[in-house]
Homo-oligomer: A and B are copies of this chain.
């Protein structure tokens, strides 16, 4: 099944921005453009962490983010290509395929200070060592995962894989989270198709729970075995998209490789193709569901460092919509107790997403 597809190799062009931040351009062909205009340097990031003794979790403070001086002119997108002599964006090239650059206001930083510039705090603090990167899916300002070509989505998977490899190798990084916030409903103001990558100096609570479960046994493989047709949205040779029977959002969807692999870096060439295809198909079904660009939070759940033997990679989509124009709010019960309430049954939403007409 996975042996017939030849592996593709992406080209990567590394560029140091004017303020020292790294920019990587990924493409199927080599990149040979010269840099155009560079934006003004960013302030030095000084993020750090404080311990929440009652939730037993880290809260990351990046107060420098408040002092943002970079305000793009209206109608101007910092993720679009920068024309020669034009207004400088984050990507000083006239064209690109997939671009990744270090976030201007990172919550985690490879050179973060040990603690705050403050008198002694009544709670433990720690360095916010790590990384925050922005992943731009295309030079085109409009669209989304569904509108990208299959070729481009495969390139995106290659870019994620490269970042996983580089960031997991960075000193102190324990977990790497690529994600996409899409739509104003989840707070996005920049509509250019893009995602982000956070490299954490700790295993976050959600991933630690999954680690604990995977250490006990192959829970996701067992779930896939028992899903039946009821929960499946769509599938191909290597991947399956489904509404989890324990969904916390009405149209929550997960994409998982049928073979238990710890992350995209372990995909066979055919699995890269199948994963890129199912990312596009799930996004297309979402957009078709209410005939509008569908907002969601998408996140890639790969193995934290050292958990590769048991962790089964998967991608989770959390859409905030209950209907075409009604939001699911996270209020008292969800926020104050951490307990989710659901009106919609996964069996029903899976059937809806399965039956929607795409393409």
**Interchain nearest-CB distance for A199 vs B (Å):** 11
Contacts of A342 in B (CB 8 A): 59-63
Q: Does A9 belong to the interface (CB within 8 Å)?
A: no
**Interchain nearest-CB distance for A113 vs B (Å):** 15
In chain A, positions 327-349 with a C-beta closer than 8 Å to chain B are: 327, 329-333, 335-345, 347
Whether B50 pairs with A204 at a CB distance below 8 angstroms is no
Whether A55 pairs with B209 at a CB distance below 8 angstroms is yes
Contacts of A175 in B (CB 8 A): 337
Whether A336 pairs with B206 at a CB distance below 8 angstroms is yes
Whether B339 pairs with A316 at a CB distance below 8 angstroms is no
Q: Does A102 belong to the interface (CB within 8 Å)?
A: no
Q: Does A265 belong to the interface (CB within 8 Å)?
A: no
Contacts of A200 in B (CB 8 A): 337, 339
Contacts of A333 in B (CB 8 A): 107, 177, 179, 198
CB-CB under 8 A for A56 and B196, given A61-B342, A61-B345, A204-B339 = no
Contact with B along A206-250 (1 / 0, CB 8 A): 110110110000011001001110010000000000001111100
Q: Does A121 belong to the interface (CB within 8 Å)?
A: yes
Contacts of A62 in B (CB 8 A): 341-343
In chain A, positions 283-304 with a C-beta closer than 8 Å to chain B are: 297-299, 301
Whether A337 pairs with B198 at a CB distance below 8 angstroms is yes
